[in-house]
Amino acid sequence: MPEISKPASPLIPQLRGVHLFHFEGAPCAQRVRFGLAEKGLERGIEVPWDSDAANTLVAEPGTWASRHVSLIKKQHLTPAYAAIQPHMVVPALVHDGRLYVESMDILDYLDQVWPENPLMPEDPDTARHARELIEWGKKLHVSVRFVSFRWGLGRLGRIGAKAERTLSQLEVKDSPEKLMDFYSRYDRGKIEEATFLEHLAALENGYASLDGLLEKDGRPFLTGPAFSSADIIWSIKVLRIHECGYPFERNFPALFDWYLRVSQRPGFQQGVMARHARMSRAFRIKAAFENLLGRGLRGVSAAARA
């Protein structure tokens, strides 16, 4: 289970109902918001992420309290947030004073507590397949980071000397997120183009496999007729890279059709897009310009398929 049994932050045990520490544009947080919406839990009060004021501690049943942690303002790279999520990443979910981390584990937790609208297929073989796709998606998380920083965020993704110092002081040894390792190289332009391209190729390998699967028998969702967490993790992986200008329509048409289908779901619209649509459009417009200028992701994407 993803529960952190003795959270360092005194805020956590005070929280009642569901509270989500998240960032609008962060793929890992989008997965959880997608899952919450699929479960019929609605976004409730908006609360400063670190607030312990009495009127912010309780989320009404059937809703979740939004505690928005700005990755742009580097609010995640602070001692107060490190006391909540020791690896200084979003999301983190609190339910009745208990703290859960790891987005895909959080989805499993939601499935246990709110079994209606299940996020895992009932049939054991199909469930096994869903798990395999989820594990593959989790491994590719780091590739999304590299590709979206290189072709999406650019200089905006740099954290600067002050945040780097805080990060180096707070990062736990052997943190699986390896933020310090990434930012110390990214901020200085020390990551080689070949590395970015390797991550892009790893993602394309995954997209190609799913495209084949969907094309083969026209299934509506990745594991068959039923929607699952596998659709959640992979649709968010398409969304982010699409925002960076990747030509999914051209390279993986069956996957793109599936993505459009999934993105029409109320859960996606409410959980992912409701407050992200403008930013998503801005990213896509910026990426379209980069593509026009020949510097974008389109030019380096699976050129053989062009």
Ligand X SMILES: N[C@@H](CCC(=O)N[C@@H](CS)C(=O)NCC(=O)O)C(=O)O
Measured from the CB atom, the residue of 233 and 287 that comes closer to ligand X is 233
Angle at 77 between CA 73 and CA 81, to 5 degrees: 105
Site of tokens 């490190």: 82
Pairing mode, if any, of strands 42-48 and 63-68? parallel
Question: What is the nearest approach in angstroms of ligand X to the Cβ of residue 289?
Answer: 24
Could you tell me how many residues of this chain bind ligand X (CB under 6 A)?
13
Question: What is the nearest approach in angstroms of ligand X to the Cβ of residue 126?
Answer: 23
Site string for ligand X, 87-116 (x = CB under 6 A): --xxx----------xx-------------
Site string for ligand X, 50-89 (x = CB under 6 A): ---------------------x----x------------x
The answer to whether the beta carbons of residues 35 and 107 sit under 8 Å apart is: yes
Question: What is the nearest approach in angstroms of ligand X to the Cβ of residue 178?
Answer: 10
The enclosing H or E element of 45 equals: strand 42-48
Measured from the CB atom, the residue of 86 and 91 that comes closer to ligand X is 91
Binding of residue 179 to ligand X (CB under 6 A): yes
Nearest to 39 by CA among 8, 13, 61: 61
Question: What is the nearest approach in angstroms of ligand X to the Cβ of residue 22?
Answer: 9
CA distance 9 to 94: 12
The total of other beta-carbon atoms located within 10 Å of residue 124's CB is 8
Binding of residue 26 to ligand X (CB under 6 A): yes
Length of the chain: 306
Binding residues (CB under 6 A) for ligand X: these are 26-28, 71, 76, 89-91, 102-103, 141, 177, 179
